[in-house]
A and B are shown apart, each in its own frame.
Chain A
Amino acid sequence: MTRVLLCLVVAVMLLPVGVMAVVASAPEGGGAEFSLFANIAEMFAGGDFPVYFRNSLILSFGIGLLDVLFAGASGYALARLRFRGKKVLFVLVVGTLALSPTVVMVPVYVIVHQLGWIDTYQGMIVPSMISAFGVFLVRQFALGLPEELLLAARVDGAGEVRIFATIAVPLLRPALLTLFLLQFLTQWDNLLWPLLVANDPALWPLPVGISQLQTEIGYDIRLMTTAALVTAVPPIVLMFFLQRYYVAGLTLGGVKK
Protein backbone atom coordinates (compact mmCIF):
# COMPACT_ATOMS: atom_id res chain seq x y z
CA MET A 1 0.00 0.00 0.00
CA THR A 2 2.70 2.50 1.00
CA ARG A 3 4.71 1.31 -2.01
CA VAL A 4 1.87 2.15 -4.38
CA LEU A 5 1.42 5.54 -2.70
CA LEU A 6 5.14 6.29 -2.95
CA CYS A 7 5.20 5.37 -6.63
CA LEU A 8 2.20 7.63 -7.14
CA VAL A 9 3.88 10.55 -5.37
CA VAL A 10 7.00 10.15 -7.49
CA ALA A 11 4.88 9.89 -10.66
CA VAL A 12 3.13 13.16 -9.78
CA MET A 13 6.47 14.81 -9.10
CA LEU A 14 7.75 13.73 -12.49
CA LEU A 15 4.69 15.06 -14.35
CA PRO A 16 6.35 18.41 -15.15
CA VAL A 17 9.34 16.52 -16.55
CA GLY A 18 6.86 14.58 -18.67
CA VAL A 19 5.32 17.84 -19.89
CA MET A 20 8.79 18.97 -20.89
CA ALA A 21 9.49 15.75 -22.78
CA VAL A 22 6.14 15.87 -24.59
CA VAL A 23 6.48 19.49 -25.72
CA ALA A 24 10.11 18.96 -26.73
CA SER A 25 9.11 15.92 -28.81
CA ALA A 26 6.30 17.61 -30.75
CA PRO A 27 6.89 18.09 -34.46
CA GLU A 28 7.00 21.51 -36.07
CA GLY A 29 3.53 22.86 -36.87
CA GLY A 30 1.73 20.31 -34.66
CA GLY A 31 1.03 16.63 -35.18
CA ALA A 32 1.59 13.43 -33.31
CA GLU A 33 4.88 11.95 -34.52
CA PHE A 34 7.86 11.78 -32.17
CA SER A 35 10.28 14.51 -33.24
CA LEU A 36 12.61 14.98 -30.28
CA PHE A 37 15.74 14.15 -32.24
CA ALA A 38 14.67 16.23 -35.21
CA ASN A 39 14.10 19.13 -32.81
CA ILE A 40 17.50 18.69 -31.19
CA ALA A 41 19.10 18.60 -34.64
CA GLU A 42 17.19 21.73 -35.61
CA MET A 43 18.32 23.42 -32.40
CA PHE A 44 21.96 22.74 -33.14
CA ALA A 45 21.66 23.42 -36.88
CA GLY A 46 21.91 27.17 -36.62
CA GLY A 47 20.67 30.30 -34.92
CA ASP A 48 21.64 31.22 -31.39
CA PHE A 49 21.57 27.91 -29.50
CA PRO A 50 24.94 26.56 -30.69
CA VAL A 51 26.52 29.81 -29.49
CA TYR A 52 24.84 29.56 -26.07
CA PHE A 53 25.80 25.91 -25.83
CA ARG A 54 29.45 26.67 -26.63
CA ASN A 55 29.55 29.51 -24.09
CA SER A 56 28.03 27.26 -21.43
CA LEU A 57 30.75 24.70 -22.09
CA ILE A 58 33.45 27.40 -21.90
CA LEU A 59 32.18 28.75 -18.58
CA SER A 60 31.48 25.37 -16.98
CA PHE A 61 34.76 23.74 -18.05
CA GLY A 62 36.79 26.91 -17.46
CA ILE A 63 35.54 27.61 -13.96
CA GLY A 64 35.49 23.89 -13.09
CA LEU A 65 39.16 23.46 -14.05
CA LEU A 66 40.33 26.72 -12.45
CA ASP A 67 38.55 25.78 -9.24
CA VAL A 68 40.17 22.34 -9.19
CA LEU A 69 43.60 23.90 -9.78
CA PHE A 70 43.45 26.73 -7.25
CA ALA A 71 41.12 25.27 -4.62
CA GLY A 72 43.19 22.07 -4.90
CA ALA A 73 46.51 23.87 -4.36
CA SER A 74 45.30 26.09 -1.52
CA GLY A 75 43.26 23.36 0.16
CA TYR A 76 46.34 21.13 0.22
CA ALA A 77 48.54 23.96 1.51
CA LEU A 78 46.05 24.75 4.28
CA ALA A 79 46.00 21.12 5.35
CA ARG A 80 49.63 20.05 5.09
CA LEU A 81 52.02 23.00 4.96
CA ARG A 82 53.08 25.67 7.43
CA PHE A 83 53.29 29.09 5.82
CA ARG A 84 52.78 32.75 6.68
CA GLY A 85 49.22 33.99 6.52
CA LYS A 86 47.78 30.47 6.79
CA LYS A 87 45.42 31.41 9.60
CA VAL A 88 44.31 34.57 7.81
CA LEU A 89 43.52 32.63 4.63
CA PHE A 90 41.62 30.02 6.60
CA VAL A 91 39.48 32.66 8.31
CA LEU A 92 38.89 34.30 4.92
CA VAL A 93 37.66 31.02 3.43
CA VAL A 94 35.40 30.25 6.39
CA GLY A 95 34.04 33.80 6.27
CA THR A 96 33.33 33.46 2.56
CA LEU A 97 31.37 30.27 3.20
CA ALA A 98 29.09 32.26 5.50
CA LEU A 99 28.69 35.13 3.04
CA SER A 100 26.12 34.98 0.28
CA PRO A 101 26.81 35.95 -3.34
CA THR A 102 23.64 38.04 -3.24
CA VAL A 103 25.15 40.24 -0.54
CA VAL A 104 28.35 41.02 -2.42
CA MET A 105 26.83 41.10 -5.91
CA VAL A 106 26.73 44.90 -6.16
CA PRO A 107 30.36 45.59 -5.17
CA VAL A 108 31.66 42.66 -7.24
CA TYR A 109 29.85 44.17 -10.20
CA VAL A 110 31.45 47.55 -9.43
CA ILE A 111 34.91 45.91 -9.34
CA VAL A 112 34.35 44.07 -12.63
CA HIS A 113 33.06 47.32 -14.11
CA GLN A 114 36.17 49.20 -12.91
CA LEU A 115 38.41 46.50 -14.37
CA GLY A 116 36.72 47.01 -17.74
CA TRP A 117 35.58 43.39 -17.76
CA ILE A 118 31.96 43.95 -18.71
CA ASP A 119 31.20 41.91 -21.85
CA THR A 120 34.23 39.65 -21.50
CA TYR A 121 34.74 35.99 -20.68
CA GLN A 122 37.11 36.89 -17.83
CA GLY A 123 34.37 39.06 -16.35
CA MET A 124 32.10 36.01 -16.22
CA ILE A 125 34.81 33.53 -15.14
CA VAL A 126 37.22 35.21 -12.70
CA PRO A 127 34.73 36.38 -10.03
CA SER A 128 33.50 32.78 -9.60
CA MET A 129 36.71 30.91 -10.25
CA ILE A 130 37.50 29.55 -6.76
CA SER A 131 34.87 28.18 -4.42
CA ALA A 132 35.31 28.37 -0.66
CA PHE A 133 33.40 25.09 -0.59
CA GLY A 134 36.10 23.59 -2.85
CA VAL A 135 38.99 24.79 -0.68
CA PHE A 136 37.22 23.27 2.30
CA LEU A 137 36.49 19.99 0.56
CA VAL A 138 40.11 19.53 -0.57
CA ARG A 139 41.47 20.60 2.82
CA GLN A 140 39.32 18.04 4.64
CA PHE A 141 40.39 15.34 2.20
CA ALA A 142 44.08 16.35 2.36
CA LEU A 143 44.05 16.20 6.16
CA GLY A 144 43.39 12.48 5.78
CA LEU A 145 46.36 11.72 3.51
CA PRO A 146 48.98 9.41 5.05
CA GLU A 147 51.88 11.43 6.42
CA GLU A 148 54.33 8.59 5.63
CA LEU A 149 54.08 9.09 1.87
CA LEU A 150 54.84 12.81 2.10
CA LEU A 151 57.67 12.19 4.57
CA ALA A 152 59.20 9.54 2.38
CA ALA A 153 59.31 11.98 -0.53
CA ARG A 154 60.84 14.66 1.72
CA VAL A 155 63.52 12.25 2.86
CA ASP A 156 64.25 11.57 -0.80
CA GLY A 157 64.82 15.29 -1.19
CA ALA A 158 61.77 16.19 -3.32
CA GLY A 159 60.66 19.83 -3.17
CA GLU A 160 57.33 20.66 -1.53
CA VAL A 161 55.66 21.81 -4.77
CA ARG A 162 56.80 18.63 -6.48
CA ILE A 163 55.46 16.53 -3.62
CA PHE A 164 52.12 18.27 -4.09
CA ALA A 165 52.06 17.72 -7.84
CA THR A 166 53.35 14.15 -8.03
CA ILE A 167 52.23 12.58 -4.75
CA ALA A 168 49.32 14.57 -3.31
CA VAL A 169 47.37 15.29 -6.50
CA PRO A 170 46.92 11.62 -7.50
CA LEU A 171 45.78 10.83 -3.94
CA LEU A 172 43.38 13.80 -3.94
CA ARG A 173 41.78 12.70 -7.20
CA PRO A 174 38.34 11.72 -5.78
CA ALA A 175 37.97 15.09 -4.04
CA LEU A 176 39.16 17.00 -7.11
CA LEU A 177 36.82 15.11 -9.43
CA THR A 178 33.85 15.72 -7.13
CA LEU A 179 34.73 19.39 -6.96
CA PHE A 180 35.01 19.63 -10.73
CA LEU A 181 31.62 18.06 -11.32
CA LEU A 182 29.85 20.15 -8.68
CA GLN A 183 31.38 23.35 -9.99
CA PHE A 184 30.62 22.33 -13.59
CA LEU A 185 26.96 21.84 -12.71
CA THR A 186 26.75 25.04 -10.66
CA GLN A 187 28.05 27.03 -13.60
CA TRP A 188 25.88 25.12 -16.05
CA ASP A 189 22.90 26.56 -14.12
CA ASN A 190 24.39 30.00 -13.48
CA LEU A 191 22.06 32.72 -14.74
CA LEU A 192 22.50 35.90 -12.72
CA TRP A 193 26.17 36.65 -13.01
CA PRO A 194 26.55 36.12 -16.77
CA LEU A 195 23.30 38.04 -17.25
CA LEU A 196 24.81 41.01 -15.42
CA VAL A 197 28.21 40.91 -17.07
CA ALA A 198 27.36 39.92 -20.64
CA ASN A 199 25.23 42.33 -22.65
CA ASP A 200 26.55 40.87 -25.88
CA PRO A 201 24.41 37.87 -26.99
CA ALA A 202 27.53 36.28 -28.49
CA LEU A 203 28.76 35.71 -24.91
CA TRP A 204 25.54 34.35 -23.43
CA PRO A 205 25.52 30.85 -21.93
CA LEU A 206 22.39 28.68 -22.15
CA PRO A 207 20.60 29.99 -19.02
CA VAL A 208 20.91 33.60 -20.15
CA GLY A 209 20.03 32.80 -23.74
CA ILE A 210 16.95 30.79 -22.82
CA SER A 211 15.75 33.33 -20.25
CA GLN A 212 16.14 36.20 -22.70
CA LEU A 213 14.37 34.39 -25.53
CA GLN A 214 11.58 33.52 -23.12
CA THR A 215 10.65 37.17 -22.71
CA GLU A 216 10.38 37.74 -26.46
CA ILE A 217 6.89 37.81 -27.88
CA GLY A 218 6.09 34.92 -30.21
CA TYR A 219 9.06 32.74 -29.29
CA ASP A 220 9.06 29.15 -30.44
CA ILE A 221 7.87 27.14 -27.40
CA ARG A 222 8.82 23.84 -29.03
CA LEU A 223 12.48 24.75 -29.66
CA MET A 224 12.74 26.56 -26.33
CA THR A 225 11.55 23.45 -24.51
CA THR A 226 13.96 21.31 -26.53
CA ALA A 227 16.74 23.62 -25.36
CA ALA A 228 15.49 23.34 -21.78
CA LEU A 229 15.55 19.55 -22.08
CA VAL A 230 19.07 19.53 -23.51
CA THR A 231 20.17 21.82 -20.65
CA ALA A 232 18.56 19.54 -18.08
CA VAL A 233 20.09 16.27 -19.31
CA PRO A 234 23.73 16.62 -18.07
CA PRO A 235 22.83 17.37 -14.43
CA ILE A 236 20.20 14.63 -14.30
CA VAL A 237 22.54 12.01 -15.77
CA LEU A 238 25.42 13.03 -13.47
CA MET A 239 23.12 13.00 -10.45
CA PHE A 240 22.45 9.32 -10.85
CA PHE A 241 26.17 8.57 -10.69
CA LEU A 242 26.99 11.02 -7.95
CA GLN A 243 23.91 11.20 -5.78
CA ARG A 244 25.86 11.18 -2.52
CA TYR A 245 28.25 13.96 -3.48
CA TYR A 246 25.47 15.87 -5.12
CA VAL A 247 23.49 16.06 -1.91
CA ALA A 248 26.56 17.21 0.00
CA GLY A 249 27.15 19.89 -2.61
CA LEU A 250 23.54 21.00 -2.82
CA THR A 251 23.22 21.26 0.93
CA LEU A 252 26.41 23.29 1.20
CA GLY A 253 25.32 25.26 -1.83
CA GLY A 254 21.94 25.77 -0.23
CA VAL A 255 23.58 27.48 2.69
CA LYS A 256 25.61 29.64 0.33
CA LYS A 257 23.10 30.50 -2.33
Chain B
Amino acid sequence: MTTVQLRIGRPATLSGQGQRRAEGRAGGLLALPAAIYFGVFWLLPFLSAAYLSFTRYDLAGMPEWVGLDNYRKMAEDPGFWNSAQVTLVYTAGSVIPSIVLALAIAVPLARPGRLNGVLRGLMMIPAVMPLVATSVVWRIIYADGGPANAVLGVAGFGPVSWLTDDGIALWALVIMVTWKHLGLFVIILTAGLQGLPPSVYEAAALDGAGPVRAFFSITLPLLRRTLLFVLVIAVVGSMQAFIPAFLLTGGGPAGATEVLPYYMWSNAFGFERMGYASAMAMVLLAVLVVLSLVQFRFLRGGGDD
Protein backbone atom coordinates (compact mmCIF):
# COMPACT_ATOMS: atom_id res chain seq x y z
CA MET B 1 0.00 0.00 0.00
CA THR B 2 2.79 2.41 0.89
CA THR B 3 4.18 1.92 -2.59
CA VAL B 4 0.99 3.02 -4.24
CA GLN B 5 0.70 6.13 -2.09
CA LEU B 6 4.28 7.16 -2.74
CA ARG B 7 3.84 6.66 -6.47
CA ILE B 8 0.81 8.91 -6.45
CA GLY B 9 2.61 11.48 -4.39
CA ARG B 10 5.78 11.76 -6.49
CA PRO B 11 5.01 10.62 -10.02
CA ALA B 12 7.51 12.96 -11.66
CA THR B 13 10.58 11.67 -9.80
CA LEU B 14 9.75 7.99 -9.38
CA SER B 15 8.09 6.69 -12.49
CA GLY B 16 8.80 9.58 -14.81
CA GLN B 17 11.50 10.22 -17.37
CA GLY B 18 14.09 11.34 -14.86
CA GLN B 19 13.82 8.18 -12.80
CA ARG B 20 13.98 6.03 -15.93
CA ARG B 21 17.13 7.79 -17.07
CA ALA B 22 18.73 7.43 -13.64
CA GLU B 23 17.93 3.71 -13.55
CA GLY B 24 19.18 3.30 -17.10
CA ARG B 25 22.53 4.87 -16.25
CA ALA B 26 23.00 3.07 -12.94
CA GLY B 27 21.76 -0.25 -14.27
CA GLY B 28 24.07 -0.03 -17.26
CA LEU B 29 27.00 0.80 -15.01
CA LEU B 30 26.33 -1.98 -12.50
CA ALA B 31 25.65 -4.60 -15.16
CA LEU B 32 28.40 -3.65 -17.61
CA PRO B 33 31.25 -5.76 -16.15
CA ALA B 34 29.04 -8.85 -16.06
CA ALA B 35 27.78 -8.19 -19.61
CA ILE B 36 31.36 -7.93 -20.91
CA TYR B 37 32.46 -10.99 -18.93
CA PHE B 38 29.64 -13.28 -20.07
CA GLY B 39 30.02 -12.03 -23.61
CA VAL B 40 33.78 -12.59 -23.80
CA PHE B 41 34.18 -15.74 -21.69
CA TRP B 42 30.93 -17.61 -22.41
CA LEU B 43 29.05 -16.37 -25.49
CA LEU B 44 32.14 -15.86 -27.66
CA PRO B 45 33.69 -19.22 -26.64
CA PHE B 46 30.40 -20.97 -27.30
CA LEU B 47 30.21 -19.49 -30.80
CA SER B 48 33.93 -20.19 -31.34
CA ALA B 49 33.53 -23.81 -30.31
CA ALA B 50 30.77 -24.20 -32.90
CA TYR B 51 32.98 -22.51 -35.52
CA LEU B 52 36.21 -24.31 -34.59
CA SER B 53 34.44 -27.66 -34.88
CA PHE B 54 34.41 -27.08 -38.66
CA THR B 55 38.11 -26.17 -38.82
CA ARG B 56 41.58 -27.53 -38.34
CA TYR B 57 43.44 -25.40 -35.81
CA ASP B 58 46.60 -26.02 -33.78
CA LEU B 59 46.91 -22.62 -31.99
CA ALA B 60 49.65 -21.53 -34.40
CA GLY B 61 48.39 -19.74 -37.51
CA MET B 62 44.72 -19.44 -38.44
CA PRO B 63 41.90 -21.97 -38.21
CA GLU B 64 41.47 -23.69 -41.58
CA TRP B 65 37.91 -24.48 -42.73
CA VAL B 66 37.44 -28.22 -43.31
CA GLY B 67 33.65 -28.50 -43.34
CA LEU B 68 32.31 -31.65 -41.72
CA ASP B 69 35.67 -33.44 -41.69
CA ASN B 70 35.98 -33.44 -37.89
CA TYR B 71 32.55 -34.99 -37.47
CA ARG B 72 33.29 -37.58 -40.15
CA LYS B 73 36.60 -38.35 -38.49
CA MET B 74 34.85 -38.77 -35.16
CA ALA B 75 32.49 -41.37 -36.62
CA GLU B 76 35.48 -43.44 -37.75
CA ASP B 77 37.75 -42.80 -34.77
CA PRO B 78 38.08 -45.91 -32.54
CA GLY B 79 39.43 -43.63 -29.78
CA PHE B 80 36.21 -41.62 -29.80
CA TRP B 81 33.99 -44.70 -29.70
CA ASN B 82 36.12 -46.21 -26.95
CA SER B 83 35.75 -43.04 -24.89
CA ALA B 84 32.00 -42.91 -25.55
CA GLN B 85 31.68 -46.49 -24.35
CA VAL B 86 33.88 -45.88 -21.30
CA THR B 87 31.78 -42.81 -20.44
CA LEU B 88 28.59 -44.84 -20.72
CA VAL B 89 29.89 -47.62 -18.43
CA TYR B 90 31.36 -45.09 -16.01
CA THR B 91 28.10 -43.10 -15.85
CA ALA B 92 25.75 -46.07 -15.55
CA GLY B 93 28.13 -47.88 -13.20
CA SER B 94 28.33 -45.00 -10.75
CA VAL B 95 24.87 -43.43 -11.06
CA ILE B 96 22.68 -46.52 -10.60
CA PRO B 97 24.34 -47.94 -7.44
CA SER B 98 24.75 -44.51 -5.85
CA ILE B 99 21.06 -43.66 -6.27
CA VAL B 100 19.88 -47.07 -5.02
CA LEU B 101 22.24 -46.90 -2.03
CA ALA B 102 21.35 -43.26 -1.36
CA LEU B 103 17.66 -44.11 -1.28
CA ALA B 104 18.23 -47.06 1.04
CA ILE B 105 20.17 -44.80 3.42
CA ALA B 106 17.95 -41.73 3.06
CA VAL B 107 14.67 -43.40 4.08
CA PRO B 108 15.77 -44.21 7.67
CA LEU B 109 18.04 -41.16 7.86
CA ALA B 110 15.23 -38.72 7.01
CA ARG B 111 13.52 -39.37 10.35
CA PRO B 112 13.97 -36.50 12.79
CA GLY B 113 16.43 -36.75 15.66
CA ARG B 114 19.75 -35.40 16.83
CA LEU B 115 21.73 -38.49 15.87
CA ASN B 116 20.34 -38.48 12.33
CA GLY B 117 21.24 -34.81 11.95
CA VAL B 118 24.83 -35.52 12.95
CA LEU B 119 25.00 -38.57 10.64
CA ARG B 120 23.70 -36.49 7.73
CA GLY B 121 26.48 -33.98 8.31
CA LEU B 122 29.13 -36.71 8.49
CA MET B 123 27.83 -38.30 5.27
CA MET B 124 28.60 -35.07 3.44
CA ILE B 125 32.32 -35.14 4.26
CA PRO B 126 33.35 -37.20 1.20
CA ALA B 127 31.22 -34.97 -1.06
CA VAL B 128 32.90 -31.78 0.09
CA MET B 129 36.46 -33.11 0.19
CA PRO B 130 38.53 -31.58 -2.62
CA LEU B 131 38.99 -34.05 -5.48
CA VAL B 132 42.75 -33.82 -5.28
CA ALA B 133 42.72 -34.79 -1.61
CA THR B 134 40.32 -37.60 -2.46
CA SER B 135 42.65 -38.92 -5.13
CA VAL B 136 45.64 -38.86 -2.79
CA VAL B 137 43.72 -41.00 -0.30
CA TRP B 138 42.35 -43.46 -2.88
CA ARG B 139 45.78 -43.93 -4.38
CA ILE B 140 46.85 -45.17 -0.95
CA ILE B 141 43.72 -47.33 -0.67
CA TYR B 142 44.31 -48.87 -4.11
CA ALA B 143 48.06 -49.39 -3.64
CA ASP B 144 49.32 -52.98 -4.07
CA GLY B 145 49.67 -53.56 -0.32
CA GLY B 146 46.91 -51.10 0.54
CA PRO B 147 43.61 -51.34 2.42
CA ALA B 148 41.51 -52.36 -0.63
CA ASN B 149 43.61 -55.47 -1.15
CA ALA B 150 43.61 -56.13 2.59
CA VAL B 151 39.79 -56.20 2.50
CA LEU B 152 39.89 -58.57 -0.48
CA GLY B 153 42.35 -60.77 1.42
CA VAL B 154 40.01 -61.04 4.41
CA ALA B 155 37.21 -62.03 2.00
CA GLY B 156 39.50 -64.73 0.63
CA PHE B 157 40.44 -63.15 -2.70
CA GLY B 158 43.89 -62.53 -4.09
CA PRO B 159 45.37 -59.05 -4.42
CA VAL B 160 44.35 -56.98 -7.45
CA SER B 161 46.19 -54.25 -9.37
CA TRP B 162 43.36 -51.78 -8.93
CA LEU B 163 44.63 -48.95 -11.07
CA THR B 164 46.75 -50.78 -13.64
CA ASP B 165 44.60 -53.78 -14.59
CA ASP B 166 42.55 -52.77 -17.66
CA GLY B 167 39.59 -54.87 -16.57
CA ILE B 168 39.46 -53.29 -13.12
CA ALA B 169 40.72 -49.70 -13.30
CA LEU B 170 37.39 -48.27 -14.49
CA TRP B 171 35.56 -50.02 -11.64
CA ALA B 172 38.10 -48.67 -9.17
CA LEU B 173 37.14 -45.18 -10.34
CA VAL B 174 33.45 -46.05 -10.18
CA ILE B 175 33.81 -47.17 -6.55
CA MET B 176 35.61 -43.96 -5.66
CA VAL B 177 33.08 -41.60 -7.25
CA THR B 178 30.13 -43.57 -5.88
CA TRP B 179 31.66 -43.12 -2.43
CA LYS B 180 32.22 -39.43 -3.08
CA HIS B 181 28.72 -38.59 -4.36
CA LEU B 182 26.66 -40.82 -2.10
CA GLY B 183 26.40 -38.28 0.74
CA LEU B 184 25.17 -35.49 -1.51
CA PHE B 185 22.46 -37.69 -3.00
CA VAL B 186 21.43 -38.85 0.47
CA ILE B 187 21.08 -35.22 1.60
CA ILE B 188 18.96 -34.24 -1.41
CA LEU B 189 16.75 -37.31 -1.00
CA THR B 190 16.31 -36.80 2.75
CA ALA B 191 15.23 -33.22 2.04
CA GLY B 192 12.70 -34.58 -0.46
CA LEU B 193 11.49 -37.25 1.97
CA GLN B 194 11.04 -34.72 4.77
CA GLY B 195 8.76 -32.72 2.48
CA LEU B 196 6.32 -35.59 1.99
CA PRO B 197 2.97 -35.17 3.80
CA PRO B 198 2.84 -37.38 6.96
CA SER B 199 -0.95 -37.67 6.67
CA VAL B 200 -0.61 -40.02 3.68
CA TYR B 201 1.49 -42.41 5.76
CA GLU B 202 -0.92 -42.24 8.66
CA ALA B 203 -3.78 -43.09 6.33
CA ALA B 204 -1.80 -45.98 4.85
CA ALA B 205 -0.96 -47.29 8.32
CA LEU B 206 -4.66 -47.17 9.25
CA ASP B 207 -5.39 -49.19 6.13
CA GLY B 208 -2.87 -51.77 7.34
CA ALA B 209 -0.06 -51.12 4.87
CA GLY B 210 3.34 -52.28 6.13
CA PRO B 211 6.59 -50.29 5.73
CA VAL B 212 7.61 -52.13 2.55
CA ARG B 213 4.22 -51.61 0.96
CA ALA B 214 4.27 -47.95 2.04
CA PHE B 215 7.70 -47.48 0.48
CA PHE B 216 6.70 -48.83 -2.91
CA SER B 217 3.18 -47.40 -3.11
CA ILE B 218 3.69 -44.04 -1.39
CA THR B 219 7.32 -43.00 -1.00
CA LEU B 220 8.59 -43.91 -4.46
CA PRO B 221 5.77 -42.31 -6.45
CA LEU B 222 5.75 -39.16 -4.31
CA LEU B 223 9.53 -38.87 -4.44
CA ARG B 224 9.53 -39.16 -8.24
CA ARG B 225 10.62 -35.60 -8.96
CA THR B 226 13.40 -35.55 -6.38
CA LEU B 227 14.68 -38.86 -7.74
CA LEU B 228 14.62 -37.55 -11.28
CA PHE B 229 16.47 -34.43 -10.18
CA VAL B 230 19.18 -36.54 -8.51
CA LEU B 231 19.33 -38.77 -11.58
CA VAL B 232 19.86 -35.86 -13.94
CA ILE B 233 22.51 -34.08 -11.87
CA ALA B 234 24.26 -37.41 -11.38
CA VAL B 235 24.27 -38.23 -15.09
CA VAL B 236 25.17 -34.72 -16.22
CA GLY B 237 27.90 -34.51 -13.60
CA SER B 238 29.43 -37.87 -14.34
CA MET B 239 29.39 -37.37 -18.11
CA GLN B 240 31.66 -34.38 -17.66
CA ALA B 241 33.77 -35.69 -14.81
CA PHE B 242 37.24 -36.60 -15.83
CA ILE B 243 39.35 -35.38 -12.93
CA PRO B 244 39.15 -38.80 -11.22
CA ALA B 245 40.52 -40.50 -14.35
CA PHE B 246 42.99 -37.70 -14.82
CA LEU B 247 44.35 -38.02 -11.29
CA LEU B 248 44.21 -41.75 -10.62
CA THR B 249 44.82 -43.52 -13.92
CA GLY B 250 45.73 -40.89 -16.50
CA GLY B 251 43.10 -42.44 -18.79
CA GLY B 252 44.98 -45.72 -18.78
CA PRO B 253 45.69 -48.57 -18.80
CA ALA B 254 45.38 -48.66 -22.60
CA GLY B 255 42.46 -46.22 -22.68
CA ALA B 256 40.39 -48.31 -20.26
CA THR B 257 39.46 -45.20 -18.23
CA GLU B 258 39.60 -42.63 -21.01
CA VAL B 259 36.21 -40.94 -20.59
CA LEU B 260 35.01 -38.62 -23.35
CA PRO B 261 35.94 -35.28 -21.74
CA TYR B 262 39.39 -36.69 -21.06
CA TYR B 263 39.79 -37.81 -24.68
CA MET B 264 38.70 -34.33 -25.70
CA TRP B 265 41.20 -32.76 -23.33
CA SER B 266 44.09 -34.86 -24.63
CA ASN B 267 43.18 -34.05 -28.23
CA ALA B 268 43.06 -30.35 -27.47
CA PHE B 269 45.96 -29.90 -25.12
CA GLY B 270 48.06 -32.99 -25.76
CA PHE B 271 47.90 -32.97 -29.56
CA GLU B 272 46.70 -29.39 -30.21
CA ARG B 273 43.78 -30.63 -32.30
CA MET B 274 41.55 -27.72 -31.30
CA GLY B 275 39.09 -28.25 -34.15
CA TYR B 276 38.57 -31.93 -33.50
CA ALA B 277 38.25 -31.35 -29.74
CA SER B 278 35.65 -28.64 -30.41
CA ALA B 279 33.63 -31.04 -32.53
CA MET B 280 33.61 -33.47 -29.60
CA ALA B 281 32.58 -30.61 -27.31
CA MET B 282 29.58 -29.91 -29.57
CA VAL B 283 28.53 -33.56 -29.42
CA LEU B 284 28.88 -33.51 -25.62
CA LEU B 285 26.87 -30.28 -25.49
CA ALA B 286 24.09 -31.79 -27.60
CA VAL B 287 23.78 -34.71 -25.18
CA LEU B 288 23.84 -32.40 -22.16
CA VAL B 289 21.18 -30.11 -23.66
CA VAL B 290 18.89 -33.09 -24.24
CA LEU B 291 19.40 -34.14 -20.60
CA SER B 292 18.72 -30.59 -19.38
CA LEU B 293 15.52 -30.47 -21.44
CA VAL B 294 14.41 -33.75 -19.89
CA GLN B 295 15.10 -32.29 -16.46
CA PHE B 296 13.31 -29.03 -17.28
CA ARG B 297 10.32 -30.84 -18.74
CA PHE B 298 9.88 -33.04 -15.69
CA LEU B 299 10.78 -30.56 -12.97
CA ARG B 300 8.94 -27.47 -14.24
CA GLY B 301 6.21 -29.08 -16.27
CA GLY B 302 4.48 -32.33 -15.41
CA GLY B 303 4.05 -33.81 -11.96
CA ASP B 304 1.61 -32.59 -9.36
CA ASP B 305 3.32 -33.61 -6.12
* B6 at interface by CB-CB < 8 Å: yes
Distance to closest chain A CB from B160 (angstroms): 17
> How far is A81 from B30 in the complex, measured between Cα atoms in Å?
10
**Contact assessment for B6 and A243 in the assembled complex, using a CB-CB cutoff below 8 Å:** no
Residue of B39, B43, B44, B136 with most partner-chain A CB within 10 A: B136
Given contacts A14-B125, A229-B133, A251-B188, contact A83 B37 (CB under 8 A): no
**Bound complex: CA of A73 vs CA of B28, how far in Å?**
10
Distance to closest chain A CB from B213 (angstroms)? 18
Report if A154-B19 is in contact (Cβ < 8 Å); known contacts: A107-B44, A108-B41, A109-B269: yes
Contact check: which of A76, A151, A243 meets B14 at CB < 8 Å? A151
- Surface stretch bound by A, among B65-73, B164-172, B274-282: B274-282
Please give the distance in Å from A241's CB to the nearest CB on chain B: 10
A99 within 8 A of B: yes
Main SS class of interface, A: helix
Q: Which residues of A contact B154 (CB under 8 A)?
A: none
- B139 contacts the other chain (CB 8 A): yes
Residues of A within 8 A of B85 (CB): none
| A110 and B105 within 8 A (CB) | no
CB of A132 within 8 Å of the partner chain? yes
In the assembled complex, the Cα of A247 lies from the Cα of B109 at a distance in Å of 16
Check: B92 CB closer than 8 A to any chain A CB: no
A85 touching B140 by the CB < 8 A rule?
no
Q: Which partner residue on chain A sits nearest B261 by CB separation? A: A102
Inter-chain CA distance A257–B238, complex, in Å, is 9
Interface stretch among B74-82, B115-123, B197-205, B217-225? B115-123
Q: A206-B132, A255-B233 are in contact. Are A73 and B108 (CB under 8 A)?
A: no
Contacts A255-B233, A255-B236, A257-B241: A83 and B23 contacting too (C-beta < 8 A)? yes
- How many A residues touch the partner, as a band? 35 or more
List which A93-111 residues lie within 8 A (CB) of chain B: 93, 95-96, 98-100, 102-111
In the complex, residue of chain B having the shortest beta-carbon distance to the beta carbon of A168? B30
Determine if B289 is an interface residue (Cβ-Cβ < 8 Å).
yes
Interface residues of B in 234-275 (CB under 8 A from A): 234, 236-237, 240-241, 243, 246-247, 250, 261, 264-265, 268-269, 274
A159-189 at interface with B (beta carbon < 8 Å): 159-161, 164, 185, 188-189
Q: Does A111 lie within 8 Å of B135, measured CB to CB?
A: no
- CB proximity to B under 8 Å, residues A178-225: 185, 188-189, 191-192, 196, 206-207, 210-211, 214-215, 221, 224-225
Contact A239 B119 (CB under 8 A): no
**Is B20 located at the chain interface by the 8 A CB criterion?**
yes
* Residue in contact with A103 in the complex, picked from B26, B105, B281, CB distance below 8 Å: B281
Number of residues in B with C-beta < 8 Å to the partner?
A: 100
Residues on B with C-beta less than 8 A from A105 are 265, 268, 281
Inter-chain CA distance A104–B274, complex, in Å, is 11
B214 touches A (CB below 8 Å): no
List of B residues within 8 angstroms of A185 by Cβ: 128
The interface residues of chain B lying within 8 Å CB-to-CB of A70 are 33-34, 37
A residues lining the B interface (CB < 8 Å): 2-3, 5-7, 9-10, 13-17, 19-20, 23, 70-71, 73-74, 76-78, 81-86, 88-89, 92-93, 95-96, 98-100, 102-111, 113, 126-127, 129-130, 132, 135, 147-148, 151, 154-155, 159-161, 164, 185, 188-189, 191-192, 196, 206-207, 210-211, 214-215, 221, 224-225, 227-229, 231-232, 235-236, 239-240, 243, 246-247, 250-251, 254-255, 257
Known A17-B129, A155-B6, A211-B246; further 6 A-B contacts with Cβ < 8 A: A71-B34, A108-B41, A160-B25, A188-B130, A189-B132, A243-B121
